[in-house]
Amino acid sequence: MTKEAILAKVNAGEMLPLMEEFYTIQGEGFYKGTAAYFIRIGGCDVGCHWCDVKESWNAETHPPTAVATIVENAAKYSDTIVITGGEPLTWDMTFITSELKKRGLKTHIETSGAYELTGEWDWICLSPKKMKLPTAKVYEKANELKCIVYNKNDFEFAEAQAEKVGKDCILYLQPEWSKRDKMIPEIVEYVMKNPKWKVSLQTHKYLNIP
């Protein structure tokens, strides 16, 4: 295929820059503890300084891969597929989610919501970032809001984000991994005082799994 042809397919969401894919246990949020197949798509320009997958940022370093191939493979492992990144909404998610749903698979997304919400989702985990705020539509559609707590100011940001999501959206505070020893006690105290929030931990890191 020519470079132009590949670019056209990527723009149409029929090929995506695939960084990695793995069958594991969802470590975070509402589905924590549930087996799921993860598809990690490269490309993100949100720029969180504490991001735990900076290798995902540059889409050029991840090979454009046919969505048909990604979906066919994913279906062998699980009925729950988590699309993450990078920032998956950098790309048009319409085609990949429609192919997954055609096979009866459940589609979950991990997103900052910084770009237009595309695709058909059974579960949307919205993790807003100060540098590039979510779009109006993703606030409305989010099933869970997962705010990362790196320092005390993040509680205020989390409250402002919680104002913007729907009334059934489940609210989580998740410690930034490198600050976990400092921030876990703060989060515990905050959740006891403000019980509309729940604690989310990156349990896969404690389990030593991907």
Q: How far is the CB of 153 from ligand 2KA (least distance, A)?
A: 23
125-164 positions binding ligand SAM, by CB under 6 A = 127, 146, 148
Residue closer to ligand SAM (CB basis): 65 or 127: 127
Residue closer to ligand SAM (CB basis): 6 or 159: 159
Structure tokens at 103: 């096979």
Does the footprint of ligand SF4 cover residue 43 (CB under 6 A)?
no
Q: How many residues does the chain have?
A: 210
Interface pick for ligand SAM out of 10, 36, 44, 142 (rule CB under 6 A): 44
Does the footprint of ligand SF4 cover residue 6 (CB under 6 A)?
no
Contacts for 164 with CB less than 8 Å, ≥ 6 apart = 134, 139
83-122 positions binding ligand 2KA, by CB under 6 A = 84, 110
Structure tokens at 98: 């429609």
Alpha helices in 35-134 (DSSP H): 67-74, 94-102
Does the footprint of ligand SF4 cover residue 113 (CB under 6 A)?
no
Residue closer to ligand SF4 (CB basis): 51 or 162: 51
Q: Between the CA atoms of 164, 42, 122 and 131, what dihedral angle is there, to the nearest 10 degrees?
A: 0
Q: Which does 111 bind (CB under 5 to 8 A by kind): ligand SF4, ligand SAM, ligand 2KA, none?
A: ligand SAM
| Whole-angstrom distance, CA of residue 130 vs CA of residue 114 | 10
Q: Are strands 35-41 and 64-66 parallel, antiparallel or unpaired?
A: unpaired
| Whole-angstrom distance, CA of residue 82 vs CA of residue 104 | 14
Q: Which does 176 bind (CB under 5 to 8 A by kind): ligand SF4, ligand SAM, ligand 2KA, none?
A: ligand SAM
| Whole-angstrom distance, CA of residue 57 vs CA of residue 192 | 36
Contacting residues toward ligand SF4, per CB under 6 A: 44, 46-48, 51, 53, 56, 85-87, 112, 129
Contacting residues toward ligand 2KA, per CB under 6 A: 24-28, 84, 110, 204, 210
